[in-house]
Chains A and B, each alone.
Chain A
Amino acid sequence: MIPIEYFLTLGAILFGLGLFGVLSRRSAILILMAVELMLAGVSINFIAFASYLDTDAFSGLIFALFVITVAAAEVGLALGIVLRLFRERRTSNVDEASDMRW
């Protein structure tokens, strides 16, 4: 059988890679994708815990289901805002959306 540590490690790596994407990308949409990666890491955690450690109540599965739903909603919401930004400034580059600073 596969040890649970495998899944946890994979989850951590996915979370980290997602964070890396957020830090290094400049396109708003790519940042959104990176956030999705982070959330995928989280879902793996939840489901691994539910299947391995909480087999009676499996709350983690339900949690993961909601995480997926919320993530999808977030993408829709954020895309709307990105589109608006694009219409206003002809760019989806977050570095150029920095009128407000210090």
Chain B
Amino acid sequence: MPDISVTIGMQQAWLLPAMPVVAFLIISFFRKLLPREGDFLAIIGMLGILLVTLFIIVDFQGFFHDGEFHPGEANVYAFDWVRISADNFLFLIEFSTYIDAISIVMLIAISIVGLMVAIYSTGYMQGEDRYGWYFAVLSLFVAAMLLLVTSGSLVWMYLAWEGVGLASYLLIGHYWERQSAAEAAKKAFITTRVGDVGLLIGIILLWKATGSFDIQTIIAAATSGQIGETYLTVAMLALFAGAVGKSAQFPLHVWLPDAMEGPTPASALIHAATMVVAGVYLIARFSPVYEVVLVARDVILYTGLLTAFLAASMGLVASDIKRVLAFSTISQLGFMFVALGVGAVGAAMFHVLTHAFFKALLFLGSGSVIHATGRQEVEYLGGLRHKQPITAATFIIGSLALAGIPIFAGFWSKDEILHAVSSYASPFVYIVLAGTALLTAIYTTRLVLLTFFGDPRDRSAFDHAHESPSSMTLPLLLLGLLATVSGFFVFDAVGNLFGFSGGIGYLVYLHHPHSFHIDWAFASVATVSSLTGVIIGWVYWHGGAERAIKARTWSPDLHALLVNRYYLDELYQGIINRVVLGLAGIVAWFDKKIVNETGVDGGAQFIGYFGYRLKFLQTGKIPNYALGIAAGILVLSVMVLARA
């Protein structure tokens, strides 16, 4: 173990969010003065994060002995942020960091994908307006995300939670000149805020029950039965509501496909690898408590299952590359929640890690395609493997990983989830999940075939296409490597080799550490279903666009249903229009009609005395307002009379 870990280790976890914050401040204030608008600062920040993460991992290994981790010391108290001691209670919000295996998985994903995305963006965003501002917001996002996963206090976590939301809002709306981007940004912000209300209520409930914001204190109190079961269930469901919003689970998933309006590298980082798994992180962090409230766990399980299936089916028909990937992200997040719902925290976190790599790879690959052709509808692409060999090769690797073909990363983690599900939940869940895996393979194959194979369908776009610059292909290659090999960390031997004592199984299986044993029966079932999916996809879409169009004619109703995403967006818009604005309308109408016209005109009409004067009536305001006051006096005094 290197000596340097004495100076930098888990005690210094606060460095993680601090470095990108500094980068953010410098870039946003001085980007006009800096060469290249300061993009290198963002990259330096990311490198620093990667370095510190490595030190933290090394330090963390030091807590591994007797075949188990003892990470209690990892909770670092920093300072009292708010300290309010009143007569009958102490209100204390500390700033503290807490590192355990779950945080480390997140740290690895954030630091590696963050660095790749930052490098990639220098090529992708080259020459665009607000180039520097993009890197500033990217740094802000990473800072908030790191704070989220290292914070030991719910309050700071909530702050970071809102912070990533803000950064996401800014990045989705980066091309705010486009009306659709502006609308998507607003949609994402408001939809996730709905979940955030739940999170806030959950935090308040937990604080009320335990008097603390410290996550470990709360977990200890909740698992020792200090909190009533119903109360705890409500609180944990409220927390899950926050996760549903942030991780785009049904019914709050509608924002994520629209979020693809943002720059593609940002989508890769935020809407594939990191921010959207914040919900998974939150539930995983509180997993000991969910062990106690099984009702909440079932809610998580079935929400995840429903989401996984619905999103995969929507992915079958979407025509925009990035939207297919967005649906696939929602679906994969559903897989993770299913794993959490059966209590397999380790499987969920393992899938977070592999998914981060291969999904980021796919997004960056699609960015490379879009960058080269200026097109993102698969109907207009095709045959690009000749023009963009590196992109095509890495994209295919990512797709194999997503489809769950053996030896690629996704296979191992998906297999883990299926395995966990088969032993904890009903066969129905297992069958639906396996079916979803099949769907995944189908739409992945479709995407690859339509993009890279067959004949080009838009000649001019094809002719202009070219391989992307090395700043973009290098991250693709690195991520391609990771998407291939990161699954092997599940084996003890490989883990040991790279310094993960006991393999990743030990790292993420916090409460029930176990070694990975491949169950050949399951593995072969999973492999067969994935391969079947690939074959179906191949048979169906190989050879060009006519077949793709046939998909529409096979069952137009079903196709329309899927293309319109089960009409959920319309439903929500309708609800917003009718209910929220309608309520506002009712109150405004009440002011206008009841108070002004009924109080004045209608009241008169009703009594029938001044009715004939109606046409002379203006909306007489002062007597009207006074009527409000008088009615208030009457109602209140009658109320107290009734009480007395």
Contact = CB atoms under 8 A, between A and B. Distances in A.
Our verdict on whether A and B bind, yes or no, reads yes
Given A19-B630, A23-B630, A101 B623 contact: no
B620 A95 contact: yes
Contact of A24 (B588, B591, B623): B623
A94 B588 contact: no
Interface centre among B592, B621, B622 (most CB of A within 10 A): B622
Contacts of A25: 623
B201 interface: no
Contact of B618 (A22, A98, A102): A98
B627 interface: yes
B627 A102 contact: no
Contact of A94 (B592, B617, B620): B620
Contact of B623 (A23, A96, A100, A102): A23
Interface in A62-80: none
A23 B627 contact: yes
Interface of B: prevailing SS: helix
Given A19-B630, A23-B627, A94 B619 contact: no
A97 to B, nearest CB: 7
B640 interface: no
Contact of A102 (B588, B620, B622, B633): B588
Interface residues of B, number: 15
5 contacts: A22-B623, A23-B630, A94-B623, A95-B619, A95-B620
A79 to B, nearest CB: 15
Interface residues of A, number: 16
Interface in B586-644: 588, 591-592, 596, 617-623, 626-627, 630, 633
Given A102-B588, A102-B591, A102-B592, A94 B630 contact: no
A33 to B, nearest CB: 14
A23 B628 CA distance: 10
A25 B592 CA distance: 20
Given A102-B588, A102-B591, A102-B592, A94 B621 contact: yes
B62 to A, nearest CB: 67
A81 to B, nearest CB: 12
Interface of B: 588, 591-592, 596, 617-623, 626-627, 630, 633
Interface string A11-24: 00000000100111
A101 B621 contact: yes
Query: Can you list the 3 inter-chain pairs with the closest CB atoms, starting with the nearest?
Result: A95-B620, A94-B622, A98-B621
A26 interface: yes
A50 interface: no
B609 to A, nearest CB: 12
Contacts of B621: 94-95, 97-98, 100-101
A98 B630 CA distance: 20
A94 B623 CA distance: 8
Nearest to A34: B626
A31 interface: yes
Nearest to B588: A102
A80 B75 CA distance: 69
Contacts of A22: 623, 626, 630
Given A102-B588, A102-B592, A96 B626 contact: no
A84 B148 CA distance: 60
Interface in A84-98: 94-98
Given A19-B630, A23-B627, A23-B630, A97 B591 contact: no
Given A23-B627, A26-B620, 8 more contacts: A22-B626, A28-B622, A31-B623, A94-B620, A95-B621, A97-B621, A101-B596, A102-B591
Contacts of A95: 617-623
A26 B592 contact: no
Contacts of A24: 623
A19 B637 CA distance: 15
Contact of A101 (B619, B630, B633): B619
